[in-house]
Amino acid sequence: SGAGKSTLAQAVDERLNRMGYQSFVLDGDNVRHGLCGNLGFSAEDRKENIRRIGEVAKLFLDAGIITLTAFISPFREDREKVRALVPDGDFIEIYCDASLEVCESRDVKGLYQKARRGEIKDFTGISSPYEPPENPELIVKTGQHPVHQCCDEVIRYLQKNAILPFSRRRAI
């Protein structure tokens, strides 16, 4: 929470749409209220949350829609399982790099304070671990750069790696 995942995904989605591409954002907050509304935040529930999102992203990808996902996915193993769902090269892991201090400063819901007081169990970065990616395709310094600059970095990556112009189905 607070790393800029949703903000960046929305900015990239808007840019892709302006460029004429069909894209869609699967956002953690929205999905948690519907598809994954029955899940909590235990390690098992987090794994299931990411599995479900991966399956939905694959459906969008199969329909030819550029799929942007914005989720707290704290465990490398779960991210790799989602990567394995889609053809090689169709999963692009973008690490939104922001310090814990930056994330806390952006926390308008007060979740970090509640977690520090013990009111929220299994909160990533406070009472539950986060395993940073070992080899993401792209690292974006969302804690240091404005969203428009981070969005530019993502678009440049997609163009440089021949993902744009979009001629194949991809999940980002």
Give pLDDT tens digits for 15-51.
999 999 999 999 988 887 888 878 877 888 888 988 9
Q: Look at residue 166 in the predicted model and tell me its pLDDT.
A: 65
Read off the pLDDT of each residue in 109-127 and give the average, rounded to a whole number. Answer: 87
CATH of domain 5-160: 3.40.50.300
Token reading at 71: 């989720």
Could you give the residue numbers annotated as active site?
73
Q: Which helix (H) or strand (E) holds 62?
A: helix 43-62
For the whole prediction, is pTM greater than 0.85? yes
CA proximity to 102, closest of 144, 154, 153: 144
Q: State the CB neighbour count (10 A cutoff) for residue 159.
A: 11
What is the rounded CA–CA span in Å between residue 129 and residue 31? 22
More confident call, 109 vs 6:
6
Indicate the domain borders of the chain.
5-160
Residue 85 dihedral angles phi and psi, to the nearest 5°: -70, -25
Q: What percent of the chain has pLDDT over 70?
A: 96
CA proximity to 94, closest of 112, 123, 67: 67
